[in-house]
A and B are shown apart, each in its own frame.
Chain A
Amino acid sequence: MPHASSRKLKCRRQMLDEAKTPESLVRVERLKVYFPITAGVLRRKVGDVKAVDDVSFEIVRGETLGLVGESGCGKTTVGRALIRLLDATEGSVRIDGEDITEASHSKLHRLRPRMQMIFQDPQASLNPRLTVAGIIGEPIIEHLNLSKHDRLERIYELMDAVGLSREYSNRYPHEFSGGQRQRIGIARALALNPDFVVCDEPIAALDVSIQAQVVNLLEELQDRMGLTYLFISHDLGMVRHIADRVAVMYLGRIVEVAPRDLLYEQPLHPYTEALLSAVPEADPEIEKYRQRIILEGDVPSPENPPEGCNFCSRCPKVMDICRRVEPPVTSTAPGRNVACHLYAASGDAN
């Protein structure tokens, strides 16, 4: 029967696809980024801010990995280290097989167009002396060989895509609202058709409608050109929308990684639970009665993390072992890892 055979063919193709395990574009191994703390006139080193402390993860080509976590837990630092805007203290980052942490300047220059970043602080990342057209055009001039006319076309195309009127192309950054500036940064990051984009709070300054427009654009580009994203955001609703998998960070470490739906339906780590319970809802009636888990206890600092689990000083489910032993990473389902004693197979948890 022709019907059956075509189904079989499809089946075989699927098997082949699976055999060719999804290729990871970004592979981070035991990444550490420490900032030295100095004291006195001689700037003697007296300690380290352990902004990122032993973090490993992968991002598959064409995938969006959401990265969420407490303010100051090291998300931006991870993002910057991934595309070598910061040097790693230890560990390695590979993008498409190329070791980024060790790459020379000339190699980095060659790789730059393929990896871009949308910055959290739009104001600080835009050159105040350039017009919008100048800012978006800068990477195009540096890396592509386009005629003046084609370049302007490309700039207009990008401005349309992020919802900035073309009439604004000769304005300077300070002449824009916060959300408009954020969109200039997004247009610039997309100018060279990168493979991998670190999106650091790309939509925080935008109203929900324009957020949706930008997120739809990012998804469309992903569908069309197979872009890969690290999507850093505090907006857990938007992360649920855009991410395939989500990593949750707390004080320099990843405490949980899971496929999106699993994470939202059934958070495992107590920090993830608390985080999800705190999301406010756009409905005054629901807001009146919503129950959330309030985190008590000392907020530790990355310079002096607690013994054992980093979250032990505030965890509502803390056990004795948590204050002594660093929790191992346990895999509870395919693609789902959690670093918590509650789930450790050999732990003395109930």
Chain B
Amino acid sequence: MPNSNGPLISVKNLKTVFRTRGGEVHAVNSVSFDLAQGELLGVVGESGSGKSVTMMSLIGLLPTPPAEIRSGQVMFEGSDLLTAEPRELRRIRGGKIGFVFQDPMTSLNPVFTVGFQIVEPLRRHLGLNRAAARKRAAELLELVGIPDPRRRLANFPHQFSGGMRQRVMFAIAIACEPKVLIADEPTTALDVTIQAQIIELVRDLRKNLGMAIVWITHDLGVIAGISDRVIVMYGGQIVEQGPVSEVFSDPGHPYTQALLGTVPAVRGKRIDKLKTIEGQAPVLENSPSSCSFHPRCALALERCGRELPLKMQIRGSHDAACFLAKTEMSPANA
């Protein structure tokens, strides 16, 4: 039996590589993190930094080839998902682990009605009969704020707006009340009031079912409001992680600092030219041997171009992979 105090999912040293005609792409490099029972873990980071690939690797959603999981371990309920049988994985996906994809059009099937696509997992994983599954499907659409849900079940995905498709994805992912929900940019196509409604729903799911959630987003405002801990990714690695209030108020990695400095505000003063982080994202041809942020880092030392910085503990569970991260050793660790 898994230890009920231990993490629900524990990822160790995950490495995912794509083989392409142009050579290898090292999309995920030595990523390790834990997800506790009932926790909401926010994941932020640069576009192309490996957030989606990391999460898809966990539950075997990447086609192999071209993807290859070079190393790692993903412990869930006492077994390693990376070595699980495909059948077992299919049972877990959509059952115990729900997934909301970043791109709704790729994961909703255009030739089936929305209703069919929600009803099908309800029947397969929960064994509901047709009538009960349809009833539940309409309830789920209602939960995600889609008006006139009964009639909408008969629609095809192209008859929904972008944000409605995203909410259908969300409804499918929570349909079987999974233990873990992995949501990849689940609210990018939603306006703030409906986003607030989905966030409220997520709070209920956590409270009532103890669901653990991984929430990938570019919206730092959402992360600030809902998550307990946050992971910051850059160039296929986790460069910082910790409790959200600490990471936001006292970011340890220069990338996190730069990222937090680029958000345009709705309230307060309006700025004329938006700040960006100068320079280009790394091309991930090799597994990194130095800090991948150093070419763009204002604070870079000579050493940063030679060595790979290891995780430095800043305080408690807050750490950053940077030589400059100020550590505040607690007496117990010193």
Contact = CB atoms under 8 A, between A and B. Distances in A.
Contacts of A204: 188-189
A237 B263 contact: yes
Contacts of B164: 71-72
Interface residues of B, number: 72
B284 to A, nearest CB: 10
A234 B281 contact: no
- The winner among B161, B189, B283 for most chain A CB atoms within 10 A is B161
Contacts of A180: 47-48
Given A71-B161, A276-B266, A209 B46 contact: yes
Nearest to B53: A177
Given A212-B262, A240-B264, A121 B225 contact: no
Contact of B47 (A121, A170, A178, A201): A178
B218 interface: yes
Range class of the A interface residue count: 35 or more
A292 B197 CA distance: 12
A142 interface: no
Interface in A70-87: 70-72, 76
Given A76-B161, A209-B46, A121 B18 contact: no
Contacts of A122: 103
B271 interface: yes
A171 interface: yes
Interface string B193-223: 1111000000000000000000000111111
A304 interface: yes
B245 A285 contact: yes
- The winner among B25, B46, B191 for most chain A CB atoms within 10 A is B191
A286 B249 CA distance: 12
Nearest to A39: B154
Interface string A201-221: 100111111111101100000
B260 A71 contact: no
Given A72-B161, A167-B22, A282 B221 contact: yes
Interface string B274-304: 1111001101000000000000000000000
Nearest to B190: A71
A207 B266 contact: no
A281 B223 CA distance: 9
B103 A212 contact: no
Interface in A261-295: 261, 264, 274-276, 278-287, 292, 294-295
B87 interface: no
B259 interface: yes
B308 interface: no
Given A204-B188, A240-B270, A284-B225, A210 B47 contact: yes
B189 A120 contact: yes
B20 A280 contact: no
B248 interface: yes
Given A178-B103, A207-B46, A209-B276, A234 B190 contact: yes
A347 interface: no
Contacts of A211: 218, 262, 274
Given A70-B194, A121-B105, A124-B105, A175 B18 contact: yes
B162 A76 contact: yes
B132 interface: no
B163 interface: yes
B191 A234 contact: yes
B10 interface: no
A10 interface: no
B263 A208 contact: yes
A170 B189 contact: no
A280 B219 contact: yes
B159 A35 contact: yes
B46 A170 contact: no
13 contacts: A69-B191, A120-B189, A121-B103, A205-B218, A234-B189, A238-B264, A261-B270, A275-B191, A278-B192, A278-B193, A278-B196, A280-B196, A299-B145
Interface of B: 18, 20-22, 25, 44-48, 51-53, 66, 102-106, 145-148, 151, 159-164, 167, 185, 188-196, 218-225, 244-245, 248-249, 258-260, 262-267, 270-271, 273-277, 280-281, 283
Return the 8 tightest CB-CB contacts between A and B, nearest first: A71-B163, A179-B47, A280-B221, A212-B274, A282-B220, A301-B147, A301-B148, A278-B192
